[in-house]
Structure 1
Amino acid sequence: MKATPPNQIHRLATGYAFGLSDIGLVRRNNEDNFLVDDALGLVIVCDGMGGHDAGEVASTEALALFHQFIAEVDPHAFHHEPRDDPDATLPGRYSAQSDGTAPQRTHPAITVAKRAVEHVNERLYAMNRSDMRPEGRGMGTTMTGLWRQPHSASMVVFHVGDSRLYRWRDNRMLQITSDQTLYQKALDAGITVNLPGRNELLQAIGPSPMVEPEVHRLTPRPGDLYLLCSDGLHGMVNDQQISDVLRNATPDALATCSHQLVELAKQHGGKDNVTVVLVWFDA
């Protein structure tokens, strides 16, 4: 399958979505890609890497492989959702990877999403190995997405790398995902000096045989707005500036707000490809 075409409002079963990707002002090609599947309730942003056209190949392949995996899932497996505090908004609270500090809830959609990410990684890693690229090298991609089935109250968030998912609710923006970078790891450890570069990834899909995605479940409310974006946005534009755009979003203004965010990134240098997808839930 091809990446989702931009400049198109998507009518989801529980809301609306609009996506836009731009090459920026410096790069020679766009290695970002995004996908919106109305029927599956699936939205993903990928930011590829690897030089030449390898990043574009990685992000495109990742979207196609994940989409195929989810499309082949038996929908009858999700008819009964467990009643276990579905509003798990903190990353890792009900993650598929437990550190032993939080109670685990087994939910079929979490298991499927985690396995889908692992499947994509296996395939991209195999492609790298077939090109005789050593482990840790070769093409790769970030992946950040949400999956809400048409009749589900909750949705699954899955995340690898440093693309991001934000939520706008009650006039407040919250970053849902956590950057899997050396920079963020240093900040989490309380380090404030001699920080590593912001773009040094701890994880990406493709370069290594194993990947540990952040996977958790949360429950949207009517009126929630979610922003998925590559680091071409959040690396150029600060949270306050992003918030100033999101506070004016309505279902009819998703395209306008998306264009405003992309233009902000370009006004602040546009050093990277920039991709934004806005998702508005009305149910």
Structure 2
Amino acid sequence: MVRSAGLTDVGKVRSINQDSFQIVEDKNIYIVADGMGGHAAGDQASRIAVKTILEILSAYEFSSESSGPDDAENGMSIEELIRYALQEANEQILLASLSNQHLQGMGTTAIVGVEHR
């Protein structure tokens, strides 16, 4: 079993912590998003990204009995599923920014890890 932990800190420069993360140890899913500083609502963008990615990846079981590290139960490779989750997160961030002028220009970086056993 892999043990993991996460912690974010606002740091000394910013007044708002724009980092978000989620660890789901029983599914071996690790997500980190860092809102784009200097842009509107980076904190919200990072939360949307983590939430969206987690919802998509959590819906699938990555079986240890699959034929290889690229086979997810749904027929997509793990790489394809992560790519899809990132694209969907991008879409959700864009939709949120279009629906609220205070969110326009928001963005985030994201990294996703799925450990296959």
- Classify the TM-score, shorter chain: 0.7 to 0.9
The structure with the largest helix share of the pair is 2
- Whether the aligned pair in 2 keeps the contact of 1:44 and 1:144 (CA below 8 Å) is yes
| Letter of the 1:148 counterpart | E
Structure 1 SS opposite 2:67: coil
- Which is strand-richer, 1 or 2? 1
Q: Deviations over 1:140-185 (max 9, x none)?
A: 1000121114xx2xxxxxxxxxxxxxxxxxxxxxxxxxxxxxxxxx
Spell out the pairing of 1:205-244 with structure 2 (5 A cutoff).
none
| Partner deviation per Cα, 1:180-211 (whole Å, 9 max, x = no partner) | xxxxxxxxxxxxxxxxxxxxxxxxxxxxxxxx
Relative to the length of structure 1, the TM-score reads 0.35
Native 8 Å contact 1:46 1:143 kept in 2: yes
Match of 1:142 among 101, 106, 109: 109
| Correspondent of 1:70 among 57, 64, 83 | 57
- Structure-to-structure mapping, 1:148-163, within 5 angstroms: 148-149=115-116, 152=117
Q: Name the structure 2 match of 1:226.
A: none
Residues 82-131 of structure 1: CA distance to partner in whole angstroms, max 9, x if unpaired? 3xxx7xxxxxxxxxxxxxxxxxxxx6111111111111111111111223
Report the CA distance shift for 1:76/1:57 in structure 2 as closer, same or farther (over 3 A).
closer
Root-mean-square deviation (CA), in Å?
Answer: 2.4
Amino acid paired to 2:96? M
Higher normalized contact order (CA 8 Å, seq sep 6+, divided by chain length) = 2
SS in structure 1 of the partner of residue 14 of structure 2:
coil
1:125 aligns with 2:94: yes
Deviation at 1:61, TM superposition (A): 1.2
Counting only pairs closer than 5 Å after superposition, residues 10-49 of structure 1 correspond to structure 2 as 14-49=1-36
Instruction: Indicate whether 1:114 and 2:83 are aligned.
Output: yes
Structure 2-normalised TM-score?
Answer: 0.80
Q: Per the alignment, in what secondary structure is the counterpart of residue 20 of structure 1?
A: coil
For residues 76 and 63 of structure 1, do their structure 2 counterparts lie closer, same or farther at Cα, with a shift above 3 Å needed? closer
| Counterparts of 2:3 and 2:30, CA distance in 1 | 11
CA distance in 2, matches of 1:76, 1:148: 9
**Number of residues of Structure 1 aligned to a counterpart in Structure 2:** 109
Preserved contact between residue 59 and residue 141 of structure 1 (Cα < 8 Å): yes
Contact residue 24 and residue 30 of structure 2 kept, 8 A: yes
Deviation at 1:81, TM superposition (A): 2.9
> Secondary structure of the equivalent of 1:120?
helix
Question: Could you tell me which residue of structure 2 aligns to residue 188 of structure 1?
Answer: none
**Structure 1, unaligned stretches of length 5 or more?**
1-13, 87-106, 153-283
